[in-house]
Structure 1
Amino acid sequence: MAGRRGLAGTVLVHKVAGAAADAGLSLADVAAEARYASENVGTMGVALKACTLPGRIFTDRFGPTKMEVGLGIHGEPGAHVTDIQPVEAVVSQLLNQILSKETNYLPISRGERVVLMVNGLGGTPLMELMIAAGKAVPQLMVEHGLAVDRVYTGSFMTSLDMEGLSISIMRADRSILQRLDAETKAPYWPVGVSGNRLPAKIPVPIPRPRSAKIVEPQSQPLKLTEQGQLLELVIVAAATALIHLKDTLNEWDSKVGDGDCGSTMYKGAKAVLEDMKNYPLNDAAETVGEIGSTIGKSMGGTSGIIYSILCKAACAQLKTSSHSVITSKQWAKALASAIDAVSKYGGAKVGYRTLLDALIPALSSLEERLSSGDDPATAFLTSSQAALDGAESTKKMRAKAGRTLYVPREIQSSVPDPGAYATASWYRAAALAVNDKYKNK
Structure 2
Amino acid sequence: MKKLINAPHSVVPDMLAGLVAQSPDLALIAADNVVLRHPLPEPERRSVALVSGGGSGHEPAHAGYVGAGMLTAAVAGDVFTSPSTDAVLSALRACAGPAGALLIVKNYTGDRLNFGLAAELARNEGIPTEIVVVADDVALRDTVEPARRRGIAGTVLVHKIAGAAAEKGASLSEVARLASLAASRIGSMGVALGACTLPAVGHPGFALGENEIELGLGIHGEAGVSRASLRTAAELAELMIGTIADDLALAPASRVALLVNGLGATPPMELAIMAGEALGALRRRGIGVERVWTGTFLSALDMPGCSLSVLALDPELLPLLDAPTEAPAWPRGGATAPYGGINLETPRHSGEALAEPTPAVGTASGEAVRQAAIAAAHALIEAEALLADLDAKAGDGDLGSSLARGSQAVLALPASSWTTPSAALSAMGQALRRAIGGSSGPFYATALLRAARALEGASDPSPRDVATAFSEAVGAIATLGGARVGDRTMLDALQPAADAFSATVESGSSLTVAWENAARAAEDGAAATASMRPRLGRASYLGERALGIEDGGARAVAIWLAAVAETTSADVTLG
TM-score by length of 2: 0.38
As a proportion of its length, which structure holds more helix?
1
> Highest relative contact order (Cα 8 Å, sep 6+), 1 or 2?
1
